[in-house]
Amino acid sequence: MIDITLPDGSVRQFGQSVTVHDVAKDIGKGLARATLAGEVDGELVDGSYSIQSNCTLRIITDRDPEGLDIIRHSTAHLLAQAVKDLYPEAQVTIGPVIENGFYYDFSYPLGFGEEDLHKIEARMVALAKADLEVRRIVENRDSAVQRFKEIGEEYKAEIIGEIPGGEPITLYSQGDFVDLCRGPHVPSTGHLKAFKLTQLAGAYWRGDSNREMLQRVYGTAWPNQKELDAYLHRKEEAEKRDHRKLGRQLDLFHFQEDAPGMVFWHRDGWALYTVVERHVRSLLREYDYEEVQTPQLMDRSMWKRSGHWDKFRQHMFTTHIDDRDYVIKPMNCPGHVQIFNQGLKSYRDLPLRIAEFGLVHRNEPSGTLHGLLRARRFTQDDAHVFCTQDQLREEVATLIDLTYRMYRDFGFEDIEVALSTRPDERVGEDALWDVAEDALAQALIDKKIPYKVQKGEGAFYGPKHEFVLRDSIGRRWQCGTIQVDFSMPGRLGAHYVSEDGKKVVPVMIHRAILGSLERFIGILLEDTEGRLPVWLAPIQVVIMNIADQHAGYASEVEKALTKQGIRAETDLRNEKIGYKIRHHTLRRIPYLLVVGEREVADQTIAVRTREGRDLGVVPLGDFAGMMEDRTSNHGIETIGGLKDSGS
């Protein structure tokens, strides 16, 4: 008898070998129809996989994260089959799953255009409706190479030829199409119900600019049409909210090739940056941090001792001065250890919390650069807490409180947390990893914060919390981290004197909440579509005169508001008031104040919001008081009985 243990602990017995699909059918016909694959003793397998002995089994459907990846990988094969049907002379290369979809690279000298994209997608729909069976084939390397050479697929033959000779080669067929793949795949093409090709791009074979340029076709795939439609709507919204477009439109910043990956902040963009920085700094003071600054250049030997040189050197900018090799700072932690090392530390000095708005440079590949979201020069809201092992759990708990508070101040309430545990390549003793992972997990449990475990995703020096924010259109942004490190302080000579007079290496907690200020500002812009809450808006108020004789009063209003710390400016141009209102509405200015004869006579202002709401005529003092509340509390205040536009 074969005993198969299911996730709920129940056991099903079979007198002979059975497939995953057979087990699903034994449980119920509905589950059998929904089965995409299985997980046998922790390993993903096809639905046709034959179970020969006792095992644990989890049935994979499109409701499982793994199921979505299988759908997307299978849809990439469907794309390749459609291309080969329509353009037999094209060669297939690689087609991986990526976030929200997949791509496939093709060698096709004529190149594809938008019309080709529509034809390919239509052919994919027809192949899916044909419900072709997907079969797994196992061959040895030499026969697989020969198979693909015979059909002119030189790229596939090259890939297979580099696989060690003793390893079995797995192929998948659907209809007449055969492709190399590790699998698993859907049982038949009929399981692929909701997909769309999204764009074309170029890509070098194996990322080598000295090799052939290939044609890359991107697509997305989902379990059903409803989820596909929702994704396409989010994508459309995301394109409207692209922070790079908003940066130009609102005159906040720009990039240029003279400094790739490095932002040029304009006046209003820098005003936004400094508001964010000030708010972070105010919380640093409240949570008892010492703010410091460390050098931009340090000798390469420092980075070797810290362990970063071996793990990170491909992303480091280096320079050679006075016969010494220097690294342009890619992170702040080694510098903070040097500050800790100045002067003898006692257990009474701990915890010591060191923070820095640390300007760093990282040599990110040019193809990955993406405005503020992926840059080469950026500023981390970085901090390191040095503490004893006994203090670790409490410090982690305090950091969690600070992290949640900061996100909520910026308007993010939907927060997901993951605990990333020890990777295979790591430093430090397993016993210390146990302590670190337990402290991180227990702090979340104590606060009743749900979290998922990401096995093997920790840093080489320690496990970490990862905080993911969900924005107003449902996208997820990984921002903050809390990382426990038992290794680096000792590598860099840090110690304190314990109560019994012994030298002890402190625990070092790395933490960044926003991640980088630049990236977080990009997220804020896309989340709000540039309609920042009043306390963050670079310019909070614009005062506009109806005619020249009202210009003096408009300037007086600006001075009065500016004196109270409100970021105000005037528009005294000789233009119609409607034109001015439209112009500053497009600038996303929260409040538009209009002054004419009545307002000058009564010392009042007519208040409009960027959403076009007319809040009426109010005394200047009342408006200034409301603005003071809005900018100090970050809350939703009212004026004239209506919510203002900063909500």
The confidence score (pLDDT) of residue 429 equals: 87
Supply the pLDDT for residue 221: 97
CA angle at residue 490 from 306 to 498, to 5 degrees?
155
Cα separations in angstroms, 447 against 394, 398, 602:
12, 11, 55
Active-site residue flag, 91: no
CA nearest neighbour of 637 among 623, 619, 618: 623
pTM, to two decimals? 0.80
Choose, from 216, 362, 567, 610, the residue flagged as catalytic: 362
User: Is residue 380 among the annotated active site residues?
Assistant: yes
Catalytic member of 193, 361, 464, 608 = 464
Within 96-223, residue ranges assigned H as helices are 114-129, 141-150, 154-161
Is 613 an active-site residue?
no
Output the pLDDT for position 196. Answer: 97
495 is catalytic: no
Q: Are strands 55-60 and 169-174 parallel, antiparallel or unpaired?
A: unpaired
Catalytic residue among 77, 510, 608, 610: 510
What's the CA gap between 551 and 557, in Å, rounded?
Answer: 10
Residue 645: per-residue pLDDT: 38
Looking at residue 295, its pLDDT comes to 97
Output phi, psi for 30, to 5 deg.
-65, -45
Identify the pLDDT of residue 630.
Answer: 67
**Which pLDDT does position 640 carry in this prediction?**
35
The catalytic position among 21, 72, 156, 384 is 384
**Annotated catalytic residue: which of 81, 91, 215, 380?**
380
Residue 256 annotated in active site: no
Residue 150's pLDDT is what? 92
- Cα–Cα distances in angstroms (integers) from residue 334 to residues 149, 355, 363, 464, 477, in the given order: 53, 13, 19, 18, 27
- Which residue among 216, 333, 422, 608 is the active-site one? 333
- pLDDT of 641 reads 34
Whether 362 is catalytic is yes
User: Which is the catalytic residue, given 382, 471, 485, 644?
Assistant: 382
Show the beta-strand stretches assigned E in 156-312.
169-174, 177-180, 194-204, 213-222, 253-254, 264-265, 290-291, 297-299
**73 noted as active-site residue:** no
User: 10-residue block means of pLDDT along the chain (647 residues)?
Assistant: 94 94 94 95 94 95 94 97 96 93 95 94 97 94 93 93 87 95 94 96 87 94 96 91 96 96 98 97 96 96 92 93 95 96 96 97 91 96 96 96 96 96 88 94 96 92 94 92 94 95 96 96 96 96 97 96 94 96 97 96 95 94 82 44 37
Cα–Cα distance for residue pair 16/535, rounded to 1 Å = 69
